[in-house]
A and B are shown apart, each in its own frame.
Chain A
Amino acid sequence: MTKAIRLHAFGGPEVLVYEDVDVPAPGPGEVRLDQTAAGVNYLDIYHRTGNHFANLVPPATPGVEAVGIVGAVGAGVTNVKPGDKAAYPLTAGGYAAARLVPASALMRVPDGIDDRDLAASYMKGLTVGHMLNDLTTFAPGDFILWHAAAGGVGLIACQWAKHLGLTVIGTVSSDEKAARAKAAGCDHVILYSKENFADRVREITDGKLCQAVYDGVGADTWLDSLKCVRAYGVCASFGLASGPLPPLGFADIPAEGFVTRASVAAVVRDRPTYEKGAATFFDVLKKGIITPHIEHALPLAEAAEAHRLLESRKTTGSLVLLP
């Protein structure tokens, strides 16, 4: 018997109930993970509310990433063994003290990485690594634009991009968030509520525009984001926080700019790609190039409070749950 958060119906934070659950012995290809820290992502709120982006069906345990110690492995599992520290992204069922995980989602964690730091940043870090390393190539000093630069993903992106020698332009919604983004390495911060970001990007870059534009916002920003990418650069949609992408006229497509949708799902789907992405992220995390900003570390039982905090939009940085 172990503890987990269970969702019996879609609804507000109060539907997240802390309950006893059974974890059966792992079947073929499965691993029992005794979890030490679980990440909280905005996706979890979509799962809880039954938002159209999500596909979790109650009764179920939300949460899509965690870190823990391997307790037992099923037949045919070779990538981890009992006692290993391991982490997984993008696998529902994360708000639990222990659970079964497909071994294919698990990556052994090297020594020297803190469990909470990793739980707070694993999926976000894999996402940022994919965005910065896999979609285009950069010359030192190239401009990039990152929306929501003070969010959990944004703060990691600012630090990592800065380390790569890029000039980072970030959008944020408040002065307080602007300060957080700047502290993380964002060179130019745009308050999108006060100014048109596409115009500002043109000014900041002296008309050269960005080698890469990363848009996790979607409906509200996408058409203007496309105006910010220069010829031979890339404009990537990696999230739809404000709604689906609008239809695209031929004139909206930037000349000689590469337009794409990208997500961490593509990294995790293919084992060699996942291993490379994870190794790259573990390296920058271990070296301190990226410091996850953990704003709240709450007991697992307080998952509902974690959701209230995240939904208030007042948080910058990350939340983790501790079983």
Chain B
Amino acid sequence: MTKAVVLHTPGGPENLSWEDWDLPPPAAGEARVRQTFAGLNYVDTYLRSGRYPLATLPVVLGREAAGVVETLGDGVDTVRVGDRVAYSSHLGGYAEANNVPADRLVPLPDDVGDELAAAMMLKGMTAQFLVRQTRPLGPGDTLLYHAAAGGVGLIACQWAKHLGATVIGTVGSADKAERAKAHGCDHVINYNEEDFLERVMALTGGVGVDFVCDAVGRTTIEKSMQALAHHGVLASYGAASGQVAPETWAKMPPERFLVKTTLPGYTKTREQLLAAANDLFAVVRSGAVRIEINQRYALKEAAQAHADLEGRKTTGSTIFVI
């Protein structure tokens, strides 16, 4: 028996309850991880509220956690008992322990602490594939990043800047504008105060940008398309403001690329997973990208953490201390 934050029915934050959870022994190919820290992500609130469907209920939410391998199922040779590991591929983060397919566990280097790993395994890996794989950025490139002060945004913008790109970020408030500026953004646009497309075109001399990262969706995607330079890439990897209407996708201007990206799509093999993780560890180790953990909660405070995230009271990464 272990303790976990369990969701029995989708709904408000109050539906998250701290209770005993019967975790079976790890199946073949799985490892039991005794968890020390878990990350909080926006996607967790979508699953909790029912906006994204859940395959099974009751369920333990949380897709980002770190800890120590405690026991192994049959046939596991990628990790050993006692290894410090982290993952971002499976639900079950909001718990004292979780069973995870062993080939999805990333061994942590000595200088990457559990808390840091839990804060960046999903957000940092997402930033990694965006700026290093989907459209590898370098000097001379221009990036438009929507929600630049969000968890992924703060990491992606610092990284893009480090790679030599010019970074334009959009945010929804003056506070967030300051935060984005302090994390790699050369230019910040408050989309509540000005038209981001007009501003982007003015900033780029009418040329547009090489890369747009858009996880906002319905409210931004059409102007994101128009903000692209010749052979620019629009990455759609979320829809915080709602799904995009089918006729909108057809409005992509010619000679621009649309790509729908997900972290699983860039970590299909263990080699890809480890390469991306090591790339992330290296850039964080170098100091070029700082992971800011600005809120810490106990697991039993999960409801409050969700309410704060949805109430836009949090900044940077939020961590559950287990």
CB distance from B164 to the nearest CB of A (A): 21
Whether the pair A256, B255 counts as a contact (CB closer than 8 A) is no
Q: B266 at interface (Cβ–Cβ under 8 A)?
A: yes
Whether the pair B257, A234 counts as a contact (CB closer than 8 A) is yes
Give bound CA distance, A250 to B258, whole Å. 11
Q: A258 at interface (Cβ–Cβ under 8 A)?
A: yes
Whether the pair B255, A261 counts as a contact (CB closer than 8 A) is yes
CB distance from A129 to the nearest CB of B (A): 14
Contacting residues of chain B (222-263) with chain A, CB-CB under 8 angstroms: 230-231, 233, 236, 239, 243-244, 246-247, 249-250, 252, 254-262
Q: Is the interface of B mostly helix, strand, loop or mixed?
A: mixed
Whether the pair A266, B254 counts as a contact (CB closer than 8 A) is yes
CB distance from A311 to the nearest CB of B (A): 27
Given contacts A256-B265, A256-B266, A259-B252, contact A250 B244 (CB under 8 A): yes
Whether the pair A253, B246 counts as a contact (CB closer than 8 A) is no
Whether the pair B250, A245 counts as a contact (CB closer than 8 A) is yes
Identify the interface centre among B246, B260, B261: most chain A CB within 10 Å of its CB: B260
| A249 proximity list for chain B (CB < 8 A) | 246, 249
Give bound CA distance, A64 to B99, whole Å. 65
CB-contact partner of A261 in B236, B254, B259, B261, under 8 A: B254
Give bound CA distance, A246 to B249, whole Å. 10
CB distance from A165 to the nearest CB of B (A): 23
| A246 proximity list for chain B (CB < 8 A) | 250
CB distance from A207 to the nearest CB of B (A): 13
Give bound CA distance, A231 to B262, whole Å. 11
| B247 proximity list for chain A (CB < 8 A) | 247
| B266 proximity list for chain A (CB < 8 A) | 256
Identify the interface centre among A245, A254, A260: most chain B CB within 10 Å of its CB: A260
Contacting residues of chain A (37-94) with chain B, CB-CB under 8 angstroms: none
Q: Which residue of B lies closest to A231 (CB)?
A: B265
Q: Which residue of A lies closest to B233 (CB)?
A: A258
CB-contact partner of B250 in A247, A260, A263, under 8 A: A247
Q: A251-293 interface mask toward B, CB cutoff 8 Å, 1 = contact, 0 = none?
A: 0011111111111011000100000000000000000000000
| A254 proximity list for chain B (CB < 8 A) | 260
Q: A139 at interface (Cβ–Cβ under 8 A)?
A: no
CB distance from A304 to the nearest CB of B (A): 32
Whether the pair B258, A253 counts as a contact (CB closer than 8 A) is yes
Whether the pair B258, A259 counts as a contact (CB closer than 8 A) is yes
Give bound CA distance, A256 to B235, whole Å. 9
| A234 proximity list for chain B (CB < 8 A) | 257
Whether the pair B257, A248 counts as a contact (CB closer than 8 A) is no
Give bound CA distance, A253 to B248, whole Å. 13
Given contacts A247-B250, A250-B243, A261-B252, contact A256 B258 (CB under 8 A): no
Contacting residues of chain A (224-255) with chain B, CB-CB under 8 angstroms: 231, 234, 245-250, 253-255
Whether the pair B257, A259 counts as a contact (CB closer than 8 A) is yes
Given contacts A134-B231, A255-B265, A266-B230, contact A260 B255 (CB under 8 A): yes
Q: Which residue of A lies closest to B230 (CB)?
A: A266
| B243 proximity list for chain A (CB < 8 A) | 250
Q: B146-172 interface mask toward A, CB cutoff 8 Å, 1 = contact, 0 = none?
A: 000000000000000000000000000
Q: Which residue of A lies closest to B260 (CB)?
A: A253
CB distance from B43 to the nearest CB of A (A): 16
| B231 proximity list for chain A (CB < 8 A) | 134
Identify the interface centre among A245, A246, A259: most chain B CB within 10 Å of its CB: A259
Whether the pair B265, A248 counts as a contact (CB closer than 8 A) is no
| B252 proximity list for chain A (CB < 8 A) | 259-261
Give bound CA distance, A234 to B249, whole Å. 16
| A255 proximity list for chain B (CB < 8 A) | 260-262, 265
Give bound CA distance, A255 to B231, whole Å. 19
| A261 proximity list for chain B (CB < 8 A) | 252, 254-255
Whether the pair B249, A248 counts as a contact (CB closer than 8 A) is yes
CB-contact partner of A256 in B230, B239, B249, B259, under 8 A: B259
Whether the pair B246, A247 counts as a contact (CB closer than 8 A) is yes
| B134 proximity list for chain A (CB < 8 A) | 256
Give bound CA distance, A134 to B265, whole Å. 24
CB distance from A136 to the nearest CB of B (A): 9
- Interface residues of A, Cβ cutoff 8 Å to B: 134, 231, 234, 245-250, 253-263, 265-266, 270
**4 additional contacts (CB under 8 A) given A231-B268, A257-B260, A259-B257:** A255-B262, A258-B257, A261-B254, A262-B254
Could you name 5 residue pairs across A and B whose Cβ atoms are closer than 8 Å?
A246-B250, A247-B246, A259-B252, A262-B254, A266-B254
